[in-house]
Amino acid sequence: MIKGMKIFITGASGRLGGALNRRYAARHEMLTPSRSVLDLAKPDEVAEIVRDLDFDLLINCAGMISPDECEGDPLGAMRVNAESPAVLAAECQRRGARMIQISTDYVFDGEGDSLLSEAAPAAPAVPVNAYGRSKLAGEQAVLAACSQVLVARVSWLFGPDRPSFPDQMLARAIAGQEVAAIADKWSVPTSTDDIASWLEHLFIHRPAASGLLHVCNSGEATWHSYAETTLALALEIGLIQDLPPVKPQRMEEFTGFLARRPRYTTMSNAALADLLGETPQSWESALRQSLAGRVTR
């Protein structure tokens, strides 16, 4: 029997925050203020609003997450992704609450080619875009402000709460449009439902877990192999009737980005596996569950 906690989630209307809120609402008391109540773009106002709330765990899922939007507004990205998280962490420290700060594989520069552990330096190598720099600044700020903070780095999220890459690929396939994806960029697609379950295990059974932690499914993909696997699973499950080819693209020939993207950011989940007592399932099997869930929902 899990003892219920008072959990405050920012970004609960988003892809990850939505998954956490769905899973935790049955067992815990949830506090999920919307952006109109708590706007992280206004760090000066955050402390006063949060001081009145009653919680023992804060999970900060809110963020400015589009690399291109951050590139166009680097100061805004810093306010949302670093300055306000620092205020939230200081408030957690003041009242003795725990905090989980959601971060990203984009804190790495992407220049290596082997699995990235928590010990791999994100700095002094500099993230390649304003999004990564703001998220790295956010990590450093919350770790400095609060002794009970876990920084959970996640990558390439998919889940039912907000559309993501598999939805885009499926929509193109269903519309009979060409499907193309970048084949020279690597990371780990990760299920938001799995993250919800792992984090709950950690805050219930491993309350002392703190510092950096890579929180992702097992395996590795390029956007191209991610697209191919999505469509193959969709065919198997009956979401599409034909398997379209996926045209491989090279990152340097792709002109649709304002911000540069890091090339290789696959994270090792060995430390997470140690804490959970089991290896997280592969991203392929998590994706199969997610796509099959659409048929039954």
DSSP state, residue 251: G
Residue 67 in the binding site for ligand NAP (CB under 6 A): no
Sheet with 29-31: strands ordered across: 29-31, 6-10, 57-60, 98-104, 149-154, 211-214
Q: Kindly write out the interface string for residues 102-141 of this chain, putting x where it contacts ligand NAP by CB under 6 A and - elsewhere.
A: x-x------------------------------x------
Residue 6 in the binding site for ligand NAP (CB under 6 A): no
Binds ligand NAP by CB under 6 A, chosen from 35, 201, 206, 260: 35
DSSP, collapsed to helix, strand or coil, labels residue 120 as: coil
Residue 269 in the binding site for ligand NAP (CB under 6 A): no
Task: Spell out the long-range contacts of 235-238 with Cβ–Cβ below 8 A and sequence spacing 24 or more.
Answer: 237/288, 237/291, 237/292, 237/295, 238/295
Residue 27 in the binding site for ligand NAP (CB under 6 A): no
d(CA 224, CA 180): 7
CA 60, chain centre distance (Å): 11
Residues in the chain: 297
Closest distance to ligand NAP from the beta carbon of 3 (Å): 26
The question of whether 131 is a catalytic residue gets the answer yes
Closest distance to ligand NAP from the beta carbon of 64 (Å): 6
Binds ligand NAP by CB under 6 A, chosen from 6, 25, 39, 275: 39
Q: Which residues bind ligand NAP (CB under 6 A)?
A: 10-11, 13-17, 35, 38-41, 61-65, 80, 102, 104, 135, 154-157, 162
Annotated active-site positions, please? 131
